[in-house]
Structure 1
Amino acid sequence: MTDLTKLSAADIAGLVANGDTSAVEVTRAHLDRIAAVDDQVHAFLHVDTEGALAAARSVDERRAAGEELGPLAGVPVAVKDVLTTKGVPTTVGSKILEGWRPPYDATIVQRLRAAGTVMLGKTNMDEFAMGSSTEYSAYGPTRNPWDLQRIPGGSGGGSAAALAAYEAPLSIGSDTGGSIRQPGAVTGTVGAKPTYGGTSRYGLVAFSSSLDTPGPCARTVLDAALLHQVIGGHDPRDSTSIPAPVPDVVGAAKLGASGDLTGVKLGVVTEFTGEGAEPGVMAAFRESVEALAKLGAEIVEISCPHFKYALPAYYLIAPSECSSNLARFDGVRFGLRTGDDGNRSLEEVMSLTREAGFGPEVKRRIMIGTYALSSGYYDAYYGQAQKVRTLITRDFNAAFEQVDALISPTTPFVAFPIGARTSDPYQMYLADLFTIPTNLYGGPAISVPCGLSEGLPVGLQVMAPTMADDRMYRVAAALESTVGTFTPPAL
Structure 2
Amino acid sequence: MDYLKQDLASLHADLVAKKYSAKELTQQTFANIKATDPQVDAFLHLNEDEALAQADQIDAAGISEDQPLAGIPMALKDNLVTKNVTTTAGSKILGNFKPVYDATVVQKLANAQMISVGKTNLDEFAMGSSTENSAFKTTKNAWDHTKVPGGSSGGSAAAVAAGMVPATLGSDTGGSIRQPASFNGVVGMKPTYGRVSRWGLIAFGSSLDAIGPMTRTVKDNALMLSAIAGHDQHDLTSSDKAVPNYAADLTAATSVKGLRIGLPKEFLGDGIADDVKQAILAAADTYRKLGATVDEVSLPHNKYGVAAYYIIASSEASSNLQRFDGIRYGYRAQDVKNLEDVYVKSRSEGFGEEVKRRIMLGTFSLSAGFYDAYFLKAARVRTVILNDFKAILKDHDFIMGPVTPTTAFGIGEEITDPMTMYMNDILTIPVNLAGLPGLSLPAGFSKGLPIGMQLIGRPFDESTLYQAGYAFEQNTEFHTKVPTLGGHN
Of 310, 314, 317 in structure 1, the residue corresponding to residue 309 of structure 2 is 314
Of 420, 423, 426 in structure 2, the residue corresponding to residue 430 of structure 1 is 423
Distance 1:263 1:74 in 2: 39
Q: Match of 1:249, SS?
A: coil
Q: Match of 1:192, SS?
A: strand
Letter in 2 for 1:437: P
Following superposition, the deviation at residue 129 of structure 1 comes to 0.2
Distance 1:61 1:437 in 2: 47
The answer to whether residue 302 in structure 2 is matched with residue 303 in structure 1 is: no
Moved over 2 A (4+): 2-6, 257-260
CA deviation map 1:293-350 (0-9, x unaligned): 1111111111111111111100100000000000000000100000365xx1211111
Q: Higher mean Cα deviation, 267-276 or 6-15?
A: 6-15
Superposition pairs of residues 361-380 of structure 1, within 5 angstroms: 361-380=354-373
Following superposition, the deviation at residue 260 of structure 1 comes to 2.3
Distance 2:114 2:436 in 1: 27
CA contact (8 A) 1:331 1:337 kept: yes
Distance 1:250 1:399 in 2: 26
Distance 1:6 1:350 in 2: 50
Matching residue of 1:34: 33
Of 178, 186, 203 in structure 2, the residue corresponding to residue 206 of structure 1 is 203
CA deviation map 1:169-206 (0-9, x unaligned): 00000000000000000000000001100000000000
Distance 2:418 2:189 in 1: 25
Matching residue of 2:180: 183
Following superposition, the deviation at residue 55 of structure 1 comes to 1.5
Following superposition, the deviation at residue 5 of structure 1 comes to 6.0
CA contact (8 A) 1:313 1:386 kept: yes
CA deviation map 1:394-430 (0-9, x unaligned): 1111111110000010111101000000111011111
Of 412, 415, 424 in structure 2, the residue corresponding to residue 419 of structure 1 is 412
The answer to whether residue 102 in structure 2 is matched with residue 109 in structure 1 is: no
Q: Higher mean Cα deviation, 267-276 or 328-337?
A: 267-276
Runs of 5+ consecutive residues of structure 1 not aligned to the other structure = none
Of 84, 88, 96 in structure 1, the residue corresponding to residue 85 of structure 2 is 88
CA deviation map 1:103-150 (0-9, x unaligned): 000000000101010101000000000000000000011001100011
Q: Match of 2:451, SS?
A: strand
Matching residue of 1:119: 116
Matching residue of 1:335: 330
CA deviation map 1:89-116 (0-9, x unaligned): 1000000000211000000000010101
Distance 2:188 2:225 in 1: 11
Distance 2:484 2:248 in 1: 32
Matching residue of 1:245: 242
The answer to whether residue 165 in structure 2 is matched with residue 168 in structure 1 is: yes
The answer to whether residue 144 in structure 2 is matched with residue 151 in structure 1 is: no
Of 425, 432, 437 in structure 2, the residue corresponding to residue 439 of structure 1 is 432
Task: Give me the TM-score of the superposition, normalised by structure 1.
Answer: 0.97
Superposition pairs of residues 325-404 of structure 1, within 5 angstroms: 325-339=320-334, 341=336, 344-404=337-397
Following superposition, the deviation at residue 362 of structure 1 comes to 0.2
Matching residue of 1:474: 467
Task: Give me the TM-score of the superposition, normalised by structure 2.
Answer: 0.97
The answer to whether residue 46 in structure 2 is matched with residue 53 in structure 1 is: no
CA contact (8 A) 2:83 2:100 kept: yes
The answer to whether residue 139 in structure 2 is matched with residue 142 in structure 1 is: yes
CA contact (8 A) 1:153 1:186 kept: yes
Distance 2:173 2:16 in 1: 35
Distance 1:200 1:80 in 2: 15
Q: 1:371 to 1:311 in 2, by over 3 A?
A: same
Letter in 2 for 1:244: K
CA contact (8 A) 1:198 1:241 kept: yes
Distance 2:248 2:380 in 1: 37
Distance 2:361 2:93 in 1: 20
Matched-pair identity in %: 48
Distance 2:253 2:299 in 1: 31
Matching residue of 1:220: 217
Distance 2:53 2:5 in 1: 23
Q: Match of 1:472, SS?
A: helix
CA deviation map 1:412-461 (0-9, x unaligned): 11010000001110111111111111100001010000010111000000
